[in-house]
């Protein structure tokens, strides 16, 4: 029996029937492999997934530093999503930085019984009076949807009253099957009300960075490299983001997509609305970063930009070469298991390759099938009852701002060279025999780690200490264990350093006390006195 069979064998029939579709062992063959993803979790299974609110407020909206995001609900949701995701931000031009603050209506029993609309109105009023934000967003939590508070009507009313945009997001935790539904809801709101609503005109070599949340300062490091190459970054969605910058998103000539899982909808909608092409990039890993920079330069096809890009790559690579080589000697031949996100479990495999580390197990927490199988799926993803509950919107070309940079012929030609409007799936880049698990749960984590014995398990905080208690180094790929940046050339070195210290830290040598290896009784042989 293979690893999959040995682990799943322990399930009861119903759980087995469900989980077997979410686990596969990579085998190259004539037909692409299919995996079940983005389906509901079985009750009682210890999943690591979060909820719709976590995806909408926690992931996509909270990093926008100049927007006051008010959580409408009991205190917990706002509290847990306060300062815990490491989406770094510095105050922008208006001096405001809401990332440090937690704003909530802290609903009480009376608000649940009699409705929370009055309290929300008051909270918006107080937010305006105390903070005077340029924009306000309201995110609802589970009970709000159930008691029927009309947050959209209140937002519209407040917008009129306070003369500034007030947006509402119905991202109740029970919607969808993971935080992914929340990404979608947040994205829908941004495209409807924020993105490209400004008055600017197209700027040469201008780009938007999509799906970069500036965890541990990744976005700043990426921005540094891009500026060095000669790009003008219009906006970042949404790390260290600004709604004012996002309003000018239509002025970019190209959108680059880092975390495709959370934001491919926006990339697609920006293309429909403004004609802006998008390419998939990956700034995790030195080699991947170089490749992405080359793809971008090729999109523009400007020789000066292409040359400058090569100069930057050479310069940056040289700067990190010695360190990369050193960490490579320390890490080569190690094996890794990854369980994170909807893009990172793929991105980080490429960074691990920079150091000669093989990935033997990988899984996504809230991915869809395209993240595993590639955007150009062989068959269409079937909608189920849960995915239908997440609103899907359509946009149409903006009569004034729509502009195609490439002719259809140019587009088709470029598509054969760079990941234009597409991204590959994770399965493609994995070796035969590697295990791929969607929504890897606690039980499967424990069992697969015991069976496959990777040297490192990259995951999140909930299972970090499960792995480490069992003797496997675990590093968080959501928060980078409070280190970073990991993106770009220098980030790759930071990553190499962190993994190396984790593997070689002396304390691993003390896990088993010496007396466990030493006989308890000391005797003498031969009857000495």
Partner 1 sequence: MQSMTPKEVSERSGLRVNPCKTCQPVGAMYAALGVHACMPHSHGSQGCCSYHRTYLTRHFKEPAIASSSSFTEGASVFGGGSNLKASVKNIFDIYNPDIIAVHTTCLSETIGDDLKSFIQDTPIPDGKYVVHTNTPSYVGSHVTGYANMISGFIKYLSVKTGVSNGKVALIPGFINPGDMREIKKIAKLMNVPFTMLPDTSGVMDAPMTGTYNMYPKGGTTIPDIIGLGDCKKSIGFGEFATTLGLEDLRNKCKVPFVSLPLPIGIANTDAYVMALQEIGASEVPYELEEERGQLVDVILDAHPYFDNKTVAIYGDPDTVLGIAALVLEMGMHPKYLVTGTPGDAFMTRGKELMAQYGIEDAVIKSTADLFEMHQWIKNDKVDLMIGGTHGKTVARAEDIPLVRAGFPVLDRYVHSYIPIVGYRGALALVEKIANALMDRQDRDCADEDLEMVM
- What are the residue numbers of the active site? 51, 54, 85, 183
463 makes contact with partner 1 (CB under 8 A): yes
Per the CB < 8 A criterion, the answer to whether 503 and 334 are in contact is yes
177 makes contact with partner 1 (CB under 8 A): yes
Window contacting partner 1 (CB under 8 A); options: 219-227, 313-321, 407-415, 458-466: 458-466
225 makes contact with partner 1 (CB under 8 A): no
In the numeric block, the tokens 């947006």 are attached to 167
Distance, CA of 187 to CA of 267 (rounded, Å): 10
Per the CB < 8 A criterion, the answer to whether 488 and 283 are in contact is yes
| Minimum distance, C-beta of residue 98 to partner 1, in the bound complex (Å) | 8
Name the DSSP class of 522. -
User: What b-and-e string marks burial along 159-179, b requiring 16 or more CB atoms within 10 Å of the CB?
Assistant: beebeebbbbbbbbbebbbbb
Applying CB under 8 A, among 20, 33, 34, 97 the residue interacting with partner 1 is 97
Give the footprint of partner 1 on residues 374-413 (CB under 8 A).
385-386, 389
Per the CB < 8 A criterion, the answer to whether 474 and 459 are in contact is yes
Is residue 286 helix, strand or coil?
Answer: helix
CB-nearer residue toward partner 1: 127 or 289: 127
175 makes contact with partner 1 (CB under 8 A): yes
Question: Among candidates 289, 297, 362, which has minimal Cα distance to 324?
Answer: 289
Applying CB under 8 A, among 23, 35, 54, 456 the residue interacting with partner 1 is 54
**C-alpha dist (Å) from residue 458 to 87, 144, 436, 449, 482:** 19, 35, 14, 11, 14
103 makes contact with partner 1 (CB under 8 A): yes
48 makes contact with partner 1 (CB under 8 A): yes
229 makes contact with partner 1 (CB under 8 A): no
Window contacting partner 1 (CB under 8 A); options: 76-84, 255-263, 313-321, 343-351: 76-84
Give the footprint of partner 1 on residues 322-381 (CB under 8 A).
none
Applying CB under 8 A, among 511, 514, 526, 529 the residue interacting with partner 1 is 511
Supply 246's token pair: 């996002």
No. of helices (H) and no. of strands (E), the chain: 21, 14
CA angle 349, 351, 352 (to 5 degrees): 60
CB-nearer residue toward partner 1: 109 or 380: 109
204 makes contact with partner 1 (CB under 8 A): no
CB-nearer residue toward partner 1: 428 or 462: 462
CB-nearer residue toward partner 1: 10 or 227: 10
Applying CB under 8 A, among 25, 34, 36, 112 the residue interacting with partner 1 is 112
């Amino acid at each position: 029996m293979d690893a999959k069979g040995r682990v799943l064998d322990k399930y009861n029939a119903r759980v087995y029937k469900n989980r077997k579709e979410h686990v596969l062992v990579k085998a190259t063959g004539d037909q692409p492999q299919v995996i079940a993803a983005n389906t509901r979790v079985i009750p009682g299974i210890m999943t690591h997934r979060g909820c719709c609110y976590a995806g909408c407020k926690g992931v996509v909206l909270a990093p926008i530093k100049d927007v006051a995001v008010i959580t409408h609900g009991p205190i917990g949701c706002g509290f847990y999503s306060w300062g815990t995701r490491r989406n770094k931000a510095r105050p922008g031009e208006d001096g405001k930085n809401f990332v440090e603050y937690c704003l909530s209506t802290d609903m009480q029993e009376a608000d649940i019984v009699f409705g929370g609309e009055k309290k929300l109105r008051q909270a918006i009023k107080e937010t305006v009076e105390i903070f005077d934000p340029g924009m306000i967003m309201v995110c609802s939590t589970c009970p709000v949807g159930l008691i029927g508070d009309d947050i959209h009507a209140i937002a519209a009313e407040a917008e009129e009253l306070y003369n500034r945009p007030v947006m509402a997001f119905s991202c109740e935790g029970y919607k969808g099957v993971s935080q992914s539904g929340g990404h979608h809801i947040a994205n829908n709101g941004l495209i409807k009300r924020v993105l490209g609503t400004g008055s600017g005109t197209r700027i040469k070599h201008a780009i938007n960075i999509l799906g970069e949340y500036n965890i541990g300062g990744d976005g700043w490091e990426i921005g540094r490299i891009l500026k060095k190459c000669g790009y003008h970054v219009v906006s970042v969605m949404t790390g260290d983001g600004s709604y004012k910058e996002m309003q000018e998103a239509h002025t970019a000539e190209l959108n680059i997509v880092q975390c495709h899982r959370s934001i491919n909808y926006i990339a697609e909608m920006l293309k429909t609305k403004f004609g802006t092409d998008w390419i998939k990039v990956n700034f995790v890993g030195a080699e991947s970063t170089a490749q992405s920079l080359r793809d971008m330069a090729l999109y523009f096809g400007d020789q000066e930009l292409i040359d400058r890009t090569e100069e930057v790559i050479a310069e940056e690579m040289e700067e990190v070469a010695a360190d990369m080589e050193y960490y490579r000697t320390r890490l080569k031949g190690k094996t890794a298991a990854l369980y994170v996100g909807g893009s990172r479990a793929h991105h980080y495999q490429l960074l691990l390759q920079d150091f000669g580390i093989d990935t033997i197990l990988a899984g996504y927490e809230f991915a869809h099938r395209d993240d595993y199988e590639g955007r150009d799926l062989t068959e269409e993803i079937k909608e189920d009852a849960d995915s239908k509950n997440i609103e899907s919107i359509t946009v149409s070309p903006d009569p004034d701002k729509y502009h195609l940079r490439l002719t259809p012929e140019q587009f088709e030609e470029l598509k054969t060279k760079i990941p234009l409007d597409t991204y590959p799936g994770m399965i493609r880049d994995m070796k035969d025999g590697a295990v791929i698990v969607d929504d890897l749960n606690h039980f499967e984590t424990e069992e697969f780690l015991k069976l496959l014995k990777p040297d490192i398990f990259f995951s999140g905080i909930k299972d970090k200490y499960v792995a480490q208690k069992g003797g496997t180094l675990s590093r968080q790929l959501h928060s980078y264990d409070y280190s970073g940046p990991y993106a770009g050339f220098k980030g790759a070195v930071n990553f190499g350093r962190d993994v190396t210290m984790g593997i070689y830290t002396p304390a691993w040598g003390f896990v088993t006390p010496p007396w466990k290896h030493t006989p308890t009784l000391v005797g003498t042989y031969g009857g000495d006195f």
